[in-house]
């Protein structure tokens, strides 16, 4: 039986009375799926990811993520759910005053993992992403592509069930874009459910993955 | 709690302090000044209490005679007093001995006494009450009895000083409590604002920590440790300044009440530890208020 990893039922999200971001959206994403969320700017892609990530709560409707109803989630439960969801932000959201190593180790530190294990896992992940030589660098010392890879390393270090990526290649040149997409594909191959929000038609060309197209907060395709 | 968490909290707290050195130094300095004022009151209170206790340990009474008493009268009085349990005779000072002793005390200024036509100092008898406490009515009763005697002019006893000291202690307690309350609020305000500044400076970091699944306890703990360290350092600095002041004063000054030297003591280690703990608790409370407001917002 296939397990519904993300289920949304008639979800609405309004930012003010005349500003609907998501309108009557129902969606079912199975475990291990790779889904592209696409649409023009303001279509509701980021809001949808934020709802899945519990950074925004639906105005109405229900959303189940990893079997948890996020409308009724408590603060502590929310923290634990977020540890199962890796997120790659368009602006990376790295801590500029912490080294690459410390940015990536953060997710393990919050789970109380012992330092020798943290060291081993961070080294392994950074090596996998080609960042071994950069672990003592600070994010401002890295290129955009390298920062994005650090953000991916941080998102996957906990072996999350779900990986959300919001415009992961938005600011990157074509070569780095191919590299980042190959990484996301590799993570997907390990069984992680991957959702990528993008407005780039280039990325969707020739893909066989599931594509959800949004416009003005509604699924149009 | 896991040791890895504790290590992380302390490491983060120390990093926060190091990153906001100037704000923290100012905070610690201001806290130290507030605590120095408060601790000075504690020191004054401790000393006055100490003096009152010392006086209570050996309650002395001085009987001043009218003119020069007959030796037989003095001896009669001595034997009467010595029969009272707990009373011992310390010494009889004749008018001549009294003026000689004063001349010795005056040293170079002895010449003042040469202009006197007659010796104005009275003869006196000093008695000591062993193990008398301040509540014991015996010295007071004896004083009343002695004052009725023809040969006795005046009777003074150290309990009267103790009474005055108790009144001063009461005033210090009152001023100390009011001032202590105000300083407590001021210190709390300083710590709250210093921590608030560091919290707002790290708003981005807190947001990212939340996004990667950190619990509120995990986010707050380093800030609480930071506030406690700041309070503790302020308290420690205040104690060091107080000790330095105490040592300086002890070297340069000789405190007297009348002709008796006063022994000045420093606050006991127990009180010092209590004051340090209090400064730490204020730090903890201040940072907790700062975080409460931030997390509510």
- Chain-chain contact of A112 with B2 (C-beta, under 8 angstroms): yes
Judgement on whether residues B176 and B109 belong to the same structural domain of the protein:
no
**Taking CB atoms and an 8 Å cutoff, what residues of chain B touch A80?**
213
Of A82, A83, A113, the CB nearest to B4: A113
- Which residues of chain A from 94 to 133 reach within 8 Å of chain B, CB to CB? 94-95, 97, 106-107, 109-115
Domain coverage including residue B70 = 57-158
Q: Read off the pTM.
A: 0.69
Judgement on whether residues B247 and B179 belong to the same structural domain of the protein:
yes
Judgement on whether residues B50 and B61 belong to the same structural domain of the protein:
no
Alpha-carbon Rg for chain A in angstroms: 17
Predicted confidence at residue A36, as pLDDT, reads: 94
CATH of the domain at B67: 3.30.70.3040
| Whole-angstrom distance, CA of residue B32 vs CA of residue B16 | 20
Structural domain count of chain B: 2
Low-confidence stretches of chain B (pLDDT < 50) are 259
Judgement on whether residues B47 and B69 belong to the same structural domain of the protein:
no
Predicted confidence at residue B133, as pLDDT, reads: 61
Predicted confidence at residue B135, as pLDDT, reads: 64
Judgement on whether residues B48 and B182 belong to the same structural domain of the protein:
yes
**Token pair 């608790």 in the structure block, residue:** B281
- Give the ipTM: 0.85
Last residue of a domain, one of B158, B174, B206: B158
Predicted confidence at residue B159, as pLDDT, reads: 63
Last residue of a domain, one of B114, B142, B158: B158
Predicted confidence at residue B38, as pLDDT, reads: 84
Last residue of a domain, one of B131, B158, B185: B158
Strands (E), A15-104: 20-30, 34-38, 60-65, 68-69, 85-88
Q: Where are the alpha helices (DSSP H) in chain B?
A: 3-19, 21-57, 71-82, 95-106, 138-147, 158-201, 203-211, 216-252, 269-296
- Chain-chain contact of B218 with A93 (C-beta, under 8 angstroms): no
Number of neighbouring beta carbons within 10 Å of residue B78 = 14
Report which DSSP code applies to B240. Answer: H
Predicted confidence at residue A175, as pLDDT, reads: 81
pLDDT tens profile A45-57: 999 999 999 888 8
Predicted confidence at residue B259, as pLDDT, reads: 46
Judgement on whether residues B135 and B13 belong to the same structural domain of the protein:
no
The 3-state DSSP class for residue A14 equals strand
What Å distances lie between residue A53 and A82, A172, A193, B73, B234, CA to CA?
7, 24, 13, 102, 43
Of A75, A80, A93, the CB nearest to B208: A93
B208 lies within 8 A of chain A by CB: yes
Judgement on whether residues B224 and B245 belong to the same structural domain of the protein:
yes
**Taking CB atoms and an 8 Å cutoff, what residues of chain B touch A162?**
none
Judgement on whether residues B200 and B290 belong to the same structural domain of the protein:
yes
SS (H, E, C) B28-60: HHHHHHHHHHHHHHHHHHHHHHHHHHHHHHEEE
Judgement on whether residues B134 and B213 belong to the same structural domain of the protein:
no
Predicted confidence at residue B180, as pLDDT, reads: 78
Judgement on whether residues B49 and B145 belong to the same structural domain of the protein:
no
Judgement on whether residues B195 and B270 belong to the same structural domain of the protein:
yes
- Chain-chain contact of B213 with A82 (C-beta, under 8 angstroms): yes
Strand order in the sheet with B58-65: B87-93, B124-130, B58-65, B152-157
The 3-state DSSP class for residue A148 equals helix
The set of residues, in sequence order, having a beta carbon less than 8 Å from that of B218 and lying 6+ positions away, is A79, A110, B5, B209
| Whole-angstrom distance, CA of residue B50 vs CA of residue B56 | 10
Judgement on whether residues B154 and B71 belong to the same structural domain of the protein:
yes
Low-confidence stretches of chain A (pLDDT < 70) are 1-4
- Chain-chain contact of A106 with B7 (C-beta, under 8 angstroms): no
Q: How close B230 gets to chain A, by Cα (Å)? A: 22
């Amino acid at each position: 039986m296939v397990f519904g990893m993300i289920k949304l039922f008639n979800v609405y999200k309004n930012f003010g009375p005349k500003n609907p971001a998501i309108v009557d959206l129902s969606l079912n994403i199975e475990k291990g799926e790779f889904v592209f969320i696409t649409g023009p700017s303001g279509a509701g892609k980021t809001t949808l990811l934020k709802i899945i990530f519990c950074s925004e709560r639906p105005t109405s409707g229900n959303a189940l993520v990893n079997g948890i109803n996020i409308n009724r989630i408590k603060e502590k439960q929310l923290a634990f759910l977020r540890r199962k969801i890796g997120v790659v932000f368009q602006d990376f959201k790295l801590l500029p005053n912490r080294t690459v190593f410390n940015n990536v180790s953060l997710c393990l530190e919050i789970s109380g993992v012992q330092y020798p294990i943290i060291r081993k896992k961070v080294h392994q992940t950074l090596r996998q992403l080609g960042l071994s030589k950069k672990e003592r660098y600070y994010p401002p010392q890295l290129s955009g592509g390298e920062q994005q890879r650090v953000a991916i390393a941080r998102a996957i270090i906990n072996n999350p069930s779900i990986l959300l990526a919001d415009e992961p290649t938005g600011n990157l040149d074509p070569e780095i874009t191919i590299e980042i997409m190959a990484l996301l594909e590799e993570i997907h191959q390990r069984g992680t459910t991957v959702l990528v929000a993008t407005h780039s038609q280039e990325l969707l060309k020739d893909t066989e993955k599931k594509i959800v197209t949004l416009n003005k907060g509604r699924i149009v395709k | 709690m896991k040791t890895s968490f504790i290590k992380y909290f302390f490491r983060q707290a120390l990093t926060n302090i190091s990153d906001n050195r100037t704000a923290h130094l100012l905070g610690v300095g201001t806290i130290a000044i507030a605590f120095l004022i408060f601790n000075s009151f504690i020191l004054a209170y401790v000393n006055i209490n100490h003096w009152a206790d010392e006086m209570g340990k050996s309650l002395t009474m001085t009987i001043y005679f009218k003119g020069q008493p007959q030796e037989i009268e003095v001896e009669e009085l001595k034997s009467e007093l010595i029969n009272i349990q707990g009373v011992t005779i310390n010494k009889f000072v004749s008018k001549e001995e009294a003026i000689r002793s004063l001349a010795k005390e005056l040293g170079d200024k002895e010449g003042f006494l040469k202009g006197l036509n007659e010796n104005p100092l009275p003869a006196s008898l000093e008695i000591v009450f062993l193990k008398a406490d301040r509540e014991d009515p015996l010295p007071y009763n004896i004083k009343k009895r002695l004052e009725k005697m023809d040969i006795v002019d005046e009777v003074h006893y150290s309990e009267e000083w103790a009474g005055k000291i108790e009144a001063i202690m009461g005033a210090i307690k009152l001023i100390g409590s009011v001032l202590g309350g105000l300083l407590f609020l001021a210190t709390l305000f300083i710590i709250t604002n210093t921590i608030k500044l560091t919290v707002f400076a790290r708003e981005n970091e807190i947001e990212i920590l939340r996004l990667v699944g950190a619990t509120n306890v995990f986010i707050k703990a380093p800030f609480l440790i930071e506030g406690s360290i700041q309070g503790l350092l302020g308290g420690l600095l205040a104690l060091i300044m107080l000790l330095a002041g105490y040592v300086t004063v002890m070297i340069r000054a000789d405190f007297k009440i009348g002709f008796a030297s006063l022994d000045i003591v420093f606050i006991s280690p127990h009180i010092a530890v209590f004051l340090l703990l209090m400064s730490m608790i204020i730090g903890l409370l201040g940072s907790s208020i700062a975080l409460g407001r931030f997390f509510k917002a």
